[in-house]
Amino acid sequence: MADLALDGLVFGAQNGASDALGRGVPFLTVAGETMHGRIAASIVTQCGLPELIAPTPAALEELALALVGDPPRLAELKARLRAALPDSGPFDAQRFARDLERLYQGLAAPR
């Protein structure tokens, strides 16, 4: 039922970003300078929507207001997100399983 989700700054979203994006809701964030401030930006980028990462909190507010005032643009972002989800890193379970298996095989290989 949501059209847009916003990151809570300074300590950025992690599961919240994944939850919103996984349900097809565009997620706006600001790339922070710490690991915790960059996680949501990384997830948004992996979903193919880097334009949803604002450089500053003020720019985040401007972007949110612009999207809310432009329903066709917001609908286009939602459609792009839904189309990208099956192949995006955080939501491609088969690729995750293959990568994890490859990691385990590497760890178990004789040295």
Residue that has been written with the tokens 């922070």 in this structure: 32
Neighbouring CB atoms inside 10 A of 25's CB total 18
Give the domain CATH number at 95: 3.40.50.2000
Phi and psi for 97 in degrees, rounded to 5? Answer: -65, -45
Beta bridge partners of 54: 30
Q: Residue 69, exposed/middle/buried by CB under 10 A (0-12, 13-18, 19+)?
A: exposed
Domain membership of residue 81 as a residue range: 5-108
Residue 54 CA to residue 64 CA, distance in Å, equals 10
- How many domains would you assign to the chain? 1
In the predicted model, residues of the chain with pLDDT beneath 70 are 10-12
